[in-house]
Amino acid sequence: MKSPLEAPEKQIAEETSVKPEKPAASVIDTSRMSKGQREALDLAEASRDPLDDRGSFASNLFIGRYDFGRIYPFPEQSAEERAAGDPFLQKLETYLREHVDPDEIDRTGEIPPENFAGLAEIGAFGIKVPQQYGGLGLSQFNYGRAAVLLGSWDGNVAALVSAHQSIGVAQPLLLFGTEEQKRKYLPRVAGGEISAFALTETHAGSDPATMSLRAEPIPDGSEFILNGEKLWCTNGVKAGVLVVMARTP
Ligand SMILES: Cc1cc2nc3c(=O)[nH]c(=O)nc-3n(C[C@H](O)[C@H](O)[C@H](O)COP(=O)(O)OP(=O)(O)OC[C@H]3O[C@@H](n4cnc5c(N)ncnc54)[C@H](O)[C@@H]3O)c2cc1C
């Protein structure tokens, strides 16, 4: 039944069913890029949400439409998958209880360096990263269980660990990275080199289209120079690698 809160049919149709007349051509000149960079860009472009297939439960909420069919029945974790995650969950719980002092972290405003090392040692920075790239190779469900456990013990450590591998380098590379990028970066981030995600700017938050930081390729196309400012970058001061959202020419 249509709720009075739901957006008008016309708006829903416009926002969910618009089909581009033809696929948008890449606006970036890739001719001088390395093969790896070109492949990465092509992969990212091809992975854009197609408008005619738009529709996670959450994205539909933004236009006042809720489609419970997309979230129910709530998926159950199989016994086999749960068993695969249990040893890590147990290790993580023991580590948190014995080595992470949430009150001390709140008092000092710092997560001690030995916690970074200890969490790296048990694999907490590469939970979903496949084993071939140095991670634990666990499922999203088991990652979610770890996030719940972390959040129940200490919000600071939960933010560190989750920003690192959900919006930081690991997840975007798993979804959209080339093999070359995965081999280069995933072992580093799974091993504990901290990563972060830089989208927000003074005038860009919920609407990333307003962002102004630019990535300009240098003349030989081998690198980009970033010009602009970012803020509110979780893990930013600890990160060795970052995902940076930028405008390109
Ligand atoms: C704990 C924390 C960690 C963060 N970590 C990161 C990080 O690691 N990297 C990063 O890049 N950013 C990070 N951010 C920033 C965060 O992503 C932004 O705060 C967020 O994108 C919202 O942007 P904004 O604050 O500019 O709010 P705005 O975009 O200005 O929104 C303000 C309000 O208006 C509402 N609103 C906006 N647009 C619409 C619309 N079209 N229709 C209806 N309502 C609307 C919003 O819901 C909100 O209530 C973090 C923020 C927090 C709080």
Condensed to tens digits (0 to 9), the pLDDT of residues 211-223 reads 999 999 999 888 9
Verify that 83 and 169 share a domain, yes or no: yes
Where residue 10 falls among pLDDT bands split at 50, 70, 90?
Answer: low
Verify that 125 and 184 share a domain, yes or no: yes
How many domains in the chain?
3
242 three-state secondary structure: strand
Looking at residue 20, its pLDDT comes to: 42
Verify that 88 and 185 share a domain, yes or no: yes
Mean pLDDT of the chain: 87
Verify that 92 and 186 share a domain, yes or no: yes
More confident residue, 222 or 81: 81
Strands (E) located in the chain: 195-198, 214-217, 224-227, 241-244
Angle between helices 113-121 and 79-99 (to 10 degrees): 150
Ligand 1, atom nearest to 236 Cα? 8
- Residue minimizing CA distance to atom 52 of ligand 1: 232
Verify that 189 and 83 share a domain, yes or no: yes
The count of C-alpha atoms lying within 13 angstroms of the C-alpha of 52, restricted to the half-sphere facing its C-beta, is: 6
Verify that 184 and 233 share a domain, yes or no: no
Does residue 4 lie within any of the structural domains? Answer: no
Report the CATH number that the domain containing residue 210 is assigned in CATH.
Answer: 2.40.110.10
- What are residue 244's DSSP bridge partners? 198
Query: For residues 28 and 248, is the Cβ–Cβ distance under 8 A?
Result: yes
- Residue that is last in its domain, among 70, 89, 117: 70
206 lines ligand 1 (CB under 6 A): yes
CA of 98 to the centre of ligand 1 (A): 35
Verify that 61 and 109 share a domain, yes or no: no
Compute CA 50 distance to the chain's CA centroid, rounded to the nearest angstrom: 19
205 lines ligand 1 (CB under 6 A): yes
239 lines ligand 1 (CB under 6 A): no
72 three-state secondary structure: coil
Verify that 186 and 96 share a domain, yes or no: yes
Does residue 3 lie within any of the structural domains? Answer: no
Verify that 182 and 99 share a domain, yes or no: yes
Verify that 18 and 31 share a domain, yes or no: yes
Does residue 2 lie within any of the structural domains? Answer: no
Verify that 117 and 168 share a domain, yes or no: yes
Ligand 1, atom nearest to 200 Cα? 11
Does residue 249 lie within any of the structural domains? Answer: no
178 lines ligand 1 (CB under 6 A): no
Per-residue model confidence as pLDDT tens digits over 22-32: 444 555 667 77
- Residue minimizing CA distance to atom 29 of ligand 1: 206
Looking at residue 175, its pLDDT comes to: 87
- Residue that is last in its domain, among 70, 91, 118: 70
* Ramachandran bin of 96, using left for φ above 0, alpha for ψ from -120 to 50, beta for the remaining angles: alpha
More confident residue, 60 or 109: 109
Does residue 35 lie within any of the structural domains? Answer: yes
Above 0.85 for ipTM, yes or no? yes
160 lines ligand 1 (CB under 6 A): no
- Residue minimizing CA distance to atom 12 of ligand 1: 200
189 three-state secondary structure: helix
Mean pLDDT for the stretch of residues 185-195: 98
User: Quick one: which of 172, 170, 171 has its CA closest to 187?
Assistant: 170
Domain that holds residue 221: 196-244
197 lines ligand 1 (CB under 6 A): yes
Report the CATH number that the domain containing residue 111 is assigned in CATH.
Answer: 1.10.540.10
199 lines ligand 1 (CB under 6 A): yes
- Distance of alpha carbon 153 from alpha carbon 96, whole angstroms: 7
195 lines ligand 1 (CB under 6 A): no
Verify that 94 and 171 share a domain, yes or no: yes
Does residue 163 lie within any of the structural domains? Answer: yes
163 lines ligand 1 (CB under 6 A): yes
Looking at residue 41, its pLDDT comes to: 76
Where residue 13 falls among pLDDT bands split at 50, 70, 90?
Answer: low
- Residue minimizing CA distance to atom 34 of ligand 1: 206
Does residue 93 lie within any of the structural domains? Answer: yes
Does residue 49 lie within any of the structural domains? Answer: yes
Mean pLDDT for the stretch of residues 138-142: 96
Where residue 179 falls among pLDDT bands split at 50, 70, 90?
Answer: very high
Query: For residues 175 and 168, is the Cβ–Cβ distance under 8 A?
Result: no
Q: Give the lowest-confidence range in 26-30, 75-79, 201-205.
A: 26-30
CA of 207 to the centre of ligand 1 (A): 8
CA of 62 to the centre of ligand 1 (A): 14
Helix (H) or strand (E) holding 114: helix 113-121
